[in-house]
């Protein structure tokens, strides 16, 4: 089995050392580099092309969110897991919207990080269960109030389809599909398909998506 290569990005050397020791217990995961700033992470990614980047948010320089955004802009296949002390919904939303594929808190059980790495490396999205529970409570009522057609459009937009695609698949006019999309994003207070996908994940709707 091919090893999953990992770059650790955190401004505290002792934290990186702890991550490295934890991941060294897994035969199929290999830490190939470390960075203490986002600028270093960008260069290391370009040089080494790891399977996974473990990204802190609070760092000197450009910070974890902007580093994530720039990495994904340069390589849409980049797989970034945010590993942060912040558990608030706004941080999770911003990280996922920036292009992260996973989000876990530093107070989580060590096994959660290993699980996240394996799932994201396999092409899945992973958010710590406690965070999903917290997020879902904020969106469940809104989605429950969607009309059947709004719900169908929501799932298709979360899948990444454009308004043109939605119109064609649901036999709607483009204008009608676009209006549904605008109304859905307004109700959920989001701006992008990535955020809609994140909400669908938090509500355990990804199987339908």
% pLDDT > 90, the chain:
53
Q: Model confidence over 138-167: pLDDT tens digits?
A: 787 888 889 989 999 999 999 889 999 999
Q: Model confidence over 12-59: pLDDT tens digits?
A: 999 899 989 999 999 999 999 999 999 999 999 999 999 999 999 988
Integer Cα distance of 112 and 18 in angstroms: 14
Q: What is the model's pLDDT at position 93?
A: 79
CA nearest 154: which of 198, 112, 111? 198
Q: What is the model's pLDDT at position 135?
A: 60
Higher pLDDT among residues 90 and 64, named by residue: 64
Least confident of 5-9, 64-68, 77-81, 135-139: 135-139
DSSP characters over 18-61: HHHHHHTT-TTEEEEEEESSHHHHHHHHHHH--SEEEE-S--ST
Per DSSP, the three-state class of 134 is helix
CATH of domain 4-127: 3.40.50.2300
Integer Cα distance of 189 and 165 in angstroms: 22
3-state SS record for 59-128 = CCCCHHHHHHHHHHHHCCCCCEEEEECCCCHHHHHHHHHHCCCEEEECCCCHHHHHHHHHHHHCCCCEEC
Domain boundaries defined on the chain: 4-127, 134-202
Number of residues assigned to the chain: 209
Q: Per CATH, which fold does 134-202 belong to? A: Arc Repressor Mutant, subunit A (1.10.10)
């Amino acid at each position: 089995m091919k090893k999953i290569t990992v770059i650790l990005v955190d401004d505290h050397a002792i934290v990186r050392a702890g991550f490295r020791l934890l991941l060294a217990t897994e035969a199929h995961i290999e830490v190939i580099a470390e960075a203490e700033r986002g600028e270093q992470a960008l260069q290391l990614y370009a040089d080494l092309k790891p399977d996974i980047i473990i990204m802190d948010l609070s760092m000197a320089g450009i910070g974890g969110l902007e580093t994530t955004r720039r990495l994904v802009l340069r390589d849409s296949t980049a797989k970034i897991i945010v590993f942060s002390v912040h558990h608030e919904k706004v941080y999770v939303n911003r990280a996922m919207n920036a292009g992260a594929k996973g989000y876990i808190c530093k107070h989580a059980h060590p096994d959660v990080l290993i699980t996240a790495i394996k799932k994201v490396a396999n092409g899945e999205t992973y958010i710590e269960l406690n965070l999903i529970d917290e997020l879902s409570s904020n969106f469940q009522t809104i989605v429950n109030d969607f009309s059947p057609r709004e719900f169908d459009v929501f799932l298709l937009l979360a899948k990444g389809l454009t308004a043109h695609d939605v119109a064609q698949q649901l036999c709607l006019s483009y204008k009608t599909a676009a209006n549904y999309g605008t109304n859905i994003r307004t109700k959920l207070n989001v701006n992008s398909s990535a955020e809609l996908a994140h909400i669908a994940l938090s509500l355990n709707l990804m199987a339908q998506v």
